[in-house]
Each structure stands twice: as C-alpha cells, then as structure tokens.
A and B are shown apart, each in its own frame.
Chain A
Amino acid sequence: MLHIINQSPMNSTTLDSCLNTANGGDILLIEDAVYAATRGSATEAKLRSAMGRFKIHVLMPDLEARGLGDRLMDGATPVDYSGFVELTVSNKTSQSWL
C-alpha cells in the first residue's frame, strides 16, 4: 500500500498518524512533507526508525523547490513525477494523509 503525505511534519500530525497506523509499504513524501526527510532535521530519526517497515520515497521537485535538494537523508529514495505515477500503479491501494 502507498501512503502519501503532504503536510510539514513539524506543523501537522499526519506523518505520526501514518507511522502509528499503517503496517508497512511505501511512503511518499510530497509538498511540505519533504522536510521530514532532510538531514539534520528533528524528524530524520523518526523516519529512520520507520525504515524497517516502510520504504520512504521523496518527490525531488518539491525538495529542490525548498532549497534542500542536496539534503535528502540516507536511505530515502528520490523520485520524480513519473516515479510518483509508478508508485500509484504498483500499489493496489493508496491513502493520502491530508
């Protein structure tokens, strides 16, 4: 299953809700959620500990727009828009955590 998150992890509980609820699968961070996967942020450790259960993907155009294209945390997978499409196709269901 694909979990899509678009809210900043500092400003919303959506990342926590997803991590606390979902059993595993793919997580795709888009829009302000990309801040969660930046090196040195307070949320990096939280995502790292979730990596056993989830594969973390980050939409690079959103990370680059925010000036953090060179700060993607280790272990997270960068994707472009076609990668976004592939994730939605390869997963049977997706949940957007709005």
Chain B
Amino acid sequence: MSDTKKFMFVNRKAPYGTVYALESLEVVLITAAFDQDVSLVFMDDGVYQLKKGQQTKGIETKNFSPAYRALEGYDIEKLYVEKEAMEARGLTEDDLLVDVTVLSRAEMGALMDEQDVVLSF
C-alpha cells in the first residue's frame, strides 16, 4: 500500500519511575489499528522495559510488561534493542520478555534515518 508510512517509537525510559513507558505502549497499540509499518526501539533505560520477571505487587502498580508479548498479535513484530545499552545494564537477550533484533548504536542511527515518522518517549 503506497500510503503506508514507516513509524518508529523510540523508548528510552525505565518502566515504572515515570509514565513514559506505559504511555508509549498505549500509543503503539492504537497505531497498530492503522496498518502502518511500525518499529519499536528500546535504547538507554528503555531496555529495562523488556526485562523478564517483573513483579509489581510490592509497589501496588499494574505490571504492564505482559503486553509486550501481545504486540505480535497486533502485527507489531519489529522490535529493536540497542546492544551497548543492554550490555551496560548487565542484560542479555535471554533476560528479555520477547524476541528482539539487537542493533549497534550506529545501526540504530541508520534505522532512524529511514523513518517517515519518529515518536519519542
């Protein structure tokens, strides 16, 4: 379809200390209804959004991390994680909730350049 645009969501914040991660997820799910080419990027502290095993009972906050697993069902399958950010946080792909493509900083920059719309959270 010729009017399909490339949308990128750039997630740079950890999940519970601010509302950015949850807000991004909500907007991503809305975007899924419009048949666009959607990519999700997780860099800097955004990588923490995908950490397995989040248990939020103790802070009496909704655990929204299972929703990342549901993205596939909405045809959102392009998830990218920045390699350097993941490693600096002591995380590996095995620590993440979902399958992702790991990109270097330079590759991430190149991917950003290809987009029609970039939304930052």
Contacts and interface: CB of A to CB of B under 8 A. Distances in A.
Q: Do chains A and B interact in one complex?
A: yes
Interface of A: 6-8, 10-11, 31-32, 35, 38-42, 44, 60-62, 64-71
Contacts of A44: 90
Contact of A66 (B13, B15, B90): B15
B48 interface: yes
Interface of B: 13-18, 44-45, 48, 51-56, 58-59, 61, 63, 65, 88-91
B90 A32 contact: no
Contacts of A40: 89-91
Given A10-B45, A66-B48, A66-B54, 18 more contacts: A10-B89, A11-B14, A11-B44, A35-B45, A35-B89, A38-B90, A39-B90, A40-B90, A41-B90, A61-B59, A64-B56, A64-B58, A65-B16, A65-B55, A66-B16, A67-B55, A67-B65, A71-B90
